[in-house]
Structure 1
Amino acid sequence: MQERDPLAPLPSVPAPQPVQVLIVQPQPTPTPVSPPAPVSGFERYKGQLAATARAAGVRDATIAAVIPYLRQNARVIALDRAQPGGPPNSNVIPPFAPYRAQHVTTDLITRGAARFRSYGPQLAWLEQRFGVEPQVLMAIFGHETSYGRITGNFDLLEVLATLAYEGRRRAFFEAEFIAALKLVDRGTPRSRLKGSWAGATGYPQFMPSNVLRLATDGDGDGVANIWSSEMDGLASIAAYLQDAGWKRGVHWGVPVNVPASLNRAAITTKLVPPRCPAVFRRHSRWLTMREWRALGVQPVGASLPEAEMATLIEPDGQGATAYLLTSNYRAILDYNCSNFYALSVGLLADRIAAGR
């Protein structure tokens, strides 16, 4: 080992070089990218509705203002599915009396009779024009909306699109949806198109196609406004019944007593109606009033002309009040194909005309 001279300068030592520290920044966890939300069946169906509306002649501006903003209404679907149906081919028929008690009430009679008196001249004019008994118009107005108190607050276009999409009666509700768009095309404000969950609107509770076809000016202002003019509503009901075949000067029917000895098998109808078969199956074959009297069927109170054709219904079964019904009863059935509905309208009409 070589001895170092203590007086010799120390050898130079290189200055330390700075150490570069590599700082690794933590990378953010990537946010998972959700796949695009699937287009719902209803959204796809809205495109189909738009194409159908355009093909039917609805203006593009109306389509653009309505269809993209439609929403499916779950409440409407629930109400539709909750409708009574009963088992197929069931012969169990509930009695009419409880329904009558709910729909031929003292309140409806009193308020209907008051309107019947106050609108006397106007109703006489409607009867002359359409041939329909004015008390029947008033009874339908009362039955449908409690004389305008309850007309429904569902958005009509949303209701009809929902029911069409649900599919149980797609062709029917699609056609009504297109009719509602045509009402908008004609200038009816969207805000006015409110109604029941089933798509009926206004004082007469018309479906949109009937508004287009039968809405009638009854107050003489040149506009058929079935949403706020009672006389327009009544005139529109009259136009509907006339269109359904109402026969001028014929009452809807009369209550009767039926003898226990009546051979009901001999008066069973053999007609098969094209619609509402269960409703018409409860009616007998058609006989003249003279023939009914010969069988011992006797009117309770007012009667019908001896040559008038009528059919028998016993809505509460044998031994209870029955009714002989004319062709005009069938016009009421066209409004709502239910025997209970048509009977209650006829009975309410009679009480309104009597004022009690």
Structure 2
Amino acid sequence: MFKPIKEGKKLSGQKAYTMSYGSIIGNDNEIIDDVIAAVFRAPHSFTGENTVEFTCHGSIFIQQEILQILISKGCRLARPGEFTQRAFMNGKMDLSQAEAVADLIASTSAGQHRLAISQMRGGFSKELSGLRDRLLHITSLIELELDFSDHEELEFADRSELSSLAEEIEKVMSRLVKSFQVGNAIKNGVPVAIIGETNAGKSTLLNALLNEEKAIVSDIHGTTRDVIEDTITINGQLFRFIDTAGIRKTTDTIEALGIERSFKALEQAQIIILVYDISQDPSEFDKFIKGIAPRLDGKKVILAINKCDIKGTNEPSFSFKTDGWHKILISAKSKHNI
């Protein structure tokens, strides 16, 4: 099916990592396309097997014709992920690298892409492999001592080295757990919960951030009954903004369920945007903050003082502590400071 430009130059005799220019010939001897054939020989290929890659023109018709010719010659279509599976089965990559290939294909931001590339190149695997080798070394020395347990004067394993290695492993494992949390945030988006009382302008803020009418906005208290979320990529990092139901005491069963979900979103979020309606009494907001203060521990908090287009830009004074918080005067409606 492949006819090289140079007569007598067959792909079977072509050296690895070389390309050959030629034509794909159909079953009726019709030229389908001029292509470049690249040859990769085992074990130095992605899958660890002999592989030939054809580069053709971008016509869907041409691609389908080439596939049909290959199938008629005894080939079959690869199953989803089969090339990565073959690479894993042939020892070309470990499981974490195989997972990284899927993450790389699914990446939608620069942060996700960097993380997947690093993992696919074995950054995570090399660290674990190094620790494993050192553990095996210590284990072999301890086993040697057990074999000569009758000779108490013999000591093969350095106890201080063992203690030092155990401490190092604990530190590395702790760091890997933290890196998993960071990686999860990069992969799925940093969760940002928009929290506040009813009619503070949370849904308007979400719409302003997304630059679309994602959430219903009205002057009626308790309009938002469920969490609404969407993602934005900022400087290559994916953020997952979550609009929540206004938190207040209510006898409405449906609204109460929405408020319960607001608290769940608050607990799961890494960043909290507290929306305060500047036209409201600060003492009422003080009471609101005291009610949720324990849930804010360990979170990064942004205090968004909203509706400054109506009330002015004088920052109100609150009785609660805002140490470490980032405060900003905004107008979600006019998109001021957003």
TM-score above 0.5: no
Scaled to the shorter chain, the TM-score interval is under 0.3
How does the TM-score come out when normalised to structure 1? 0.24
Structure showing greater radius of gyration is: 1
- Determine which structure has greater relative contact order: mean sequence separation of CA pairs < 8 Å that are 6+ residues apart, divided by chain length: 1
How does the TM-score come out when normalised to structure 2? 0.25
